[in-house]
Amino acid sequence: MTDPHPAPPLRAPRDGTRGVPDATVARLPVYLRVLTGLGERGVTTVSSEELALAAGVGSATLRKDLSHLGSYGVRGVGYDVGHLVQHVGRCLGLAEEWRVVIVGIGSLGHALANYGGFAPLGTRVVALVDSDPSVVGEQVAGLEVQPAERIVRLVSELGVRIAVLAVPAASAQAACDAVVAAGITSVLSFAPVELQVPAGVELRRVDLSTELGILAFRERRRAAADGEEPVVVLPETLVAAGVGGRGARGVHAEVAR
Amino acid sequence: MTDPHPAPPLRAPRDGTRGVPDATVARLPVYLRVLTGLGERGVTTVSSEELALAAGVGSATLRKDLSHLGSYGVRGVGYDVGHLVQHVGRCLGLAEEWRVVIVGIGSLGHALANYGGFAPLGTRVVALVDSDPSVVGEQVAGLEVQPAERIVRLVSELGVRIAVLAVPAASAQAACDAVVAAGITSVLSFAPVELQVPAGVELRRVDLSTELGILAFRERRRAAADGEEPVVVLPETLVAAGVGGRGARGVHAEVAR
DNA sequence: ATGTGTGAACAAATTCACAGCG
DNA sequence: CGCTGTGAATTTGTTCACACAT
């Protein structure tokens, strides 16, 4: 699948999004956001240096990323903000509207439904569903909560392609199976469990506790590097989970090797 | 990852967390979650194959990750679930309690405050703050919302180290500056803007629209590969953002094939 | 001049494949 | 044997440095 050499003589690869690396794709939304912000503030031209700074990446990375989309910069000048917004936007699929259903209208589902930030990236929440009959019928963010079985019709009639799962961990796999069975091909889950999906279905997870766990790891590393003695508190929940180690202060970790 | 210089004599933490790659750190919380799940279901031993499957990674990756922590597996047998939970947990800092403040108690802040999933990863929400006086004093998830200025004291007196920003995009940078000035060293932001933080402060972003943007990109790529004609709708928001191609009707996406 | 676009060098992460241990 | 742990090979991503277009 890797044809390393012959590229240069060839023009833009078909529609411009063929071999874009995953790492680049993950940064495109960031670039787009920064660019639209600049545009709103009346900026018409940016250099890779400025744009990179604002996006929090290196300028070389930024230029390489944009070059993957068949870039539109002007040598000696920089990038035209308007053009670049259009170009990146089109690559991300913003000329189309990606319809989203939110599954599970608990407090997180509520928050997501009311969150206005999707639209600028081409996605729109068009339906809310919940399996709890006492929630169905409720009006949230201008939409009526529908029964879970309705997903099938949302996919076939409204063209919904993306499901956001905001359900409890215990029912996440079942909800995921249900939306996949209904024909959903992209899933964004907020539940703190690993979901299994069939091949061909895109799954992304956003997990608050995972993120906090990563931050905690770094805090801990920093504290250790500082020789600092952290406050040690053992909440019962952790003890119950079997964590804590002998003596409640396992500083003498085995330094194998 | 944020080390511009070619690794000087780095001071190693004297425990097992020396030189653990970022990619590995990001997976540890996942392993831990899967492991505790197995433990609760009475499983006492797992092979790298099984654990990897459940965690959604390759078995080689999993073994290499665990080996970075100075692994505890038994050749020919597998890993003892209980031991591994302890070990990974300790590496993630679960023997300590990482105190968290949530900044911004809007609908997302409410949802986060009520979300119970943190505890298993060693973090605990101990305070809520908001700059809006009409929200201050409200009782949410058993905590009273405090005025924003209180952050300084939360850091110095309660030992809060991590701030979760659930504020609107427009005030996110100001809120971020404020918590950093108060002495917070780790920030998890939900606002759809790129935040600038001084060196030494860990920043992670969770951005719903970015995630959906990535899914949309893949959906689009898939659709293009299928030769499918997507429903084309141009919401005004996109037009306003300058996306959609010159002529406002650029529906003639260059469909390859 | 100036700053993009890009090969080439480098670094990180993943995967392979197998030695070695229980 | 079976399965971990790990060097070596491979793939993937980042950074450098400079030719070249404007």
Q: Are A106 and A83 within one domain?
A: no
Query: A256 pLDDT band (50/70/90 cuts)?
Result: very low
Residue scoring higher pLDDT (A237 or B163): B163
Domains of chain A: total: 2
State chain B's mean pLDDT as an integer.
84
Q: CB distance A119–B55 less than 8 Å?
A: no
Which bases of chain C come closer than 7 Å to a protein CB? 1-7, 11-17, 20-22
Contact B55, B62 (CB under 8 A): yes
pLDDT bin (cut points 50, 70, 90) of residue A222 is confident
Calculate the angstrom distance between C1' of D1 and CA of B76: 9
- The nucleotide lying nearest B72 (C-alpha to C1') is D4
Sequence-distant (6+) residues with CB within 8 A of B87 are B69, B72
CB-CB under 8 Å, B256 with A92: no
Do B106 and B87 lie in one domain? The reply is no
Whether A35 and A130 map to the same domain: the answer is no
Residue in B closest to A12 by C-alpha: B254
Do A103 and A86 lie in one domain? The reply is no
Size of the A and B interface in Cβ pairs below 8 Å: 342
How sure is the predictor about B254, in pLDDT bands with cuts at 50, 70 and 90? very low
Task: Report the nearest residue to nucleotide C5, CA vs C1'.
Answer: A67
User: Which run of H or E residues covers position B187?
Assistant: strand B186-189
CATH of the domain at A87: 1.10.10.10
Q: How many residues does chain A have?
A: 257
Q: Judge if B190 and B104 occupy the same domain.
A: yes
Which of B34, B56, B91 is the endpoint of a domain? B91
Does residue B181 form part of some domain?
Answer: yes
Q: Does any domain span residue A84?
A: yes
Domain that includes residue A61, residue range:
22-91
- The residue out of B161, B188, B206 marking a domain boundary is B206
Phi and psi angles of residue B18, each rounded to the nearest 5 degrees, phi first: -60, 130
Give the pair of three-digit tokens for residue A26. 């993950």
Please determine, for residue B161, whether its predicted confidence score (pLDDT) is greater than 80: yes
User: Which of A33, A188, A218 lies nearest to residue B186, judging by beta carbons?
Assistant: A218
- Whether residue A236 is contained in a domain is answered as no
Model confidence at B6: pLDDT above 80: no
Specify whether B82 is located in the same domain as B102.
Answer: no
Query: How many Å apart are CA B127 and CA B167, to the nearest integer?
Result: 15
Q: Are residues B81 and B113 in the same domain?
A: no
Residue A8 CA distance to nucleotide C8 C1' (Å): 15
For residues A107 and A202, state if they share a domain: yes
pLDDT in tens, B43-102: 999 999 999 999 999 999 999 999 999 878 999 999 999 999 999 999 898 888 999 999
A257/B88: higher pLDDT: B88
CA A134/CA A115 separation, integer angstroms: 23
CATH code of the domain covering residue A125: 3.40.50.720
B37/B70 same-domain check = yes
Share of chain B above pLDDT 90, in %: 68
Mean pLDDT, residues A118-140 taken together:
92
- Establish if B234 belongs to a structural domain: no
State whether B109 and B175 are in the same domain: yes
pLDDT band of residue B18 (cuts 50, 70, 90) is low
Residues B232, A202: C-beta atoms closer than 8 Å: no
Q: Is residue A235 part of a domain?
A: no
Please report the pLDDT score of residue B93 as a whole number. Answer: 86
Token readout for A193 is: 């469990």
- Tell me if B176 sits within 8 A of B198, measured CB to CB: no
**A238 near B122, Cβ under 8 Å?**
yes
What count of Cα atoms within 13 Å lies in the side-chain half-sphere of residue B220?
A: 29
Nucleotide C21, nearest residue via CA and C1': B75
Mean pLDDT across chain A, nearest whole number?
Answer: 84
Nucleotides of D under 7 A from a protein CB: 1-7, 11-17, 20-22
Q: B-chain residues within 8 Å CB-CB of A215? A: 98, 123, 162, 186, 188, 202, 204
Of B91, B109, B130, which residue sits at a domain end?
Answer: B91
Both A110 and A168 in a single domain? Answer: yes
Per-residue model confidence (pLDDT) at position B33: 94
Q: What percent of chain A has pLDDT over 90?
A: 68
Kindly state whether residues A201 and A179 are assigned to the same domain. yes
Tell me the shortest Cα–Cα distance from B73 to chain A, in angstroms.
13
